[in-house]
Amino acid sequence: MNTRIHEILKKYPSELLDEWLVALNASGVRRDALMKEGELRDQCAEFLRLLTRAVEQGNIHDTTTPAYASVRELLERLSRSRSLQGFSPGETATFIFSLKQPLFGRLRGEFTKDAQVVADELWAATVLLDKLGLYTTEVHQRTREEVIVRQQQEMMELSTPVVALWDRIVALPLIGTLDSGRTQTVMETLLQRIVETGAEIAIIDITGVPTVDTLTAQHLIKTVTATRLMGAECVISGIRPQIAQTIVHLGVDLSDVVTKSSLASAFSWALKRLNQTIGTGPRAAPTKG
């Protein structure tokens, strides 16, 4: 079975390539804005070359063997590229599945007098191409998941800006829910900023945090503790009445943490702590008349 499929691949490389391209264009998966015809032809030709060598050397029923390593590497590269270009998993898998029509046609034509051989060869070719097609969808999905994780990480970093409010005073306004992953990013960002600015006081403003539960409070306490270990004071601002009641109801102990109702109050406290004041300009003289 391996030899017969290999014979077809080796005997009709140009014909299979041309017929495959016709099938691909008919399927509508090639979009001119994303992929030119010359590029697609090169990809198909390379795949047929590698597949011919793999089928000759390896077990046609097992595409995980070393013989198919080059084929898998090519499909991984193509699948990742198509995923990033915006092709769907189905469009990506169609690159492989569209080869069935020309390959099946050649197999029928070559062994037309032996129905059993044709049936066996068609089944072997189906299993082979199905496995390779499914492999492209796995790579495509994995690539999309990696992109989503990276985007979430980038959004998390963007949503935790540390602002230098004053000399030796930084502020971290938090918006949204705090979970374990975001807390780690918050902590790392804040501590790094403290090192960079030499800040002595860090204000964590939770005005934009909708609710505070036990887990959120624990995350805040961990961040405060880490900040203190860096030699900086930590103030939590934005403690609204409902949040204060929730914290008391949960039994969370924030007695050793400075808390303020607003960012302005926290900033004023920080200035006094550092014996600093904000000067005011001269008042304008009152007008007569």
Q: Which residue has the higher pLDDT, 132 or 35?
A: 132
pLDDT by residue (tens digit) across 227-280? 999 999 999 999 888 888 888 888 877 888 899 999 999 999 999 999 988 764
- The CA distance from 179 to 3, in Å, is 57
Q: Is pLDDT above 70 for 65? A: yes
pLDDT for 1: 45
pLDDT for 174: 84
Q: Which residue has the higher pLDDT, 27 or 95?
A: 95
pLDDT by residue (tens digit) across 81-109? 888 888 888 888 999 999 999 999 999 99
- Quote the pTM value: 0.57
pLDDT by residue (tens digit) across 38-49? 888 999 999 999
pLDDT for 284: 44
pLDDT for 245: 86
CATH 1.10.490 residue spans of the chain: 2-154
Architecture of domain 163-273: 2-Layer Sandwich (3.30)
Instruction: Please answer whether residues 163 and 170 qualify as being in contact, where contact means their C-beta atoms are separated by less than 8 angstroms.
Output: yes
pLDDT for 231: 92
Mean pLDDT of the chain: 85
Instruction: Please answer whether residues 27 and 89 qualify as being in contact, where contact means their C-beta atoms are separated by less than 8 angstroms.
Output: no
Q: What is the mean pLDDT of residues 38-62?
A: 90
Q: What is the mean pLDDT of residues 143-167?
A: 75
CATH 3.30.750.24 residue spans of the chain: 163-273
pLDDT for 151: 67
Q: Is 204 left (phi over 0), alpha (psi -120 to 50) or beta?
A: beta
Spell out the long-range contacts of 179-188 with Cβ–Cβ below 8 A and sequence spacing 24 or more: 179/215, 179/219, 180/219, 181/156, 182/156, 183/219, 183/222, 183/223, 185/153, 185/156, 185/157, 185/160, 186/160, 186/219, 186/223, 187/222, 187/223, 187/226
Q: How many CB atoms are closer than 10 A to CB 248?
A: 10
Q: Which residue has the higher pLDDT, 70 or 56?
A: 70
Kind of pairing between the strands at 169-175 and 163-166: antiparallel
Question: Is domain 2-154 given the CATH code 1.10.490 in the classification?
Answer: yes
Nearest Cα neighbor of 107 from 87, 126, 90 is: 126
**The sheet that has 169-175: what strands, in order across it?**
163-166, 169-175, 201-208, 233-237, 258-260
Q: Which residue has the higher pLDDT, 33 or 113?
A: 113
Q: Which residue has the higher pLDDT, 155 or 134?
A: 134
Amino acid at 107: L
C-alpha separations of 225 from 182, 187, 257 in Å: 17, 10, 10
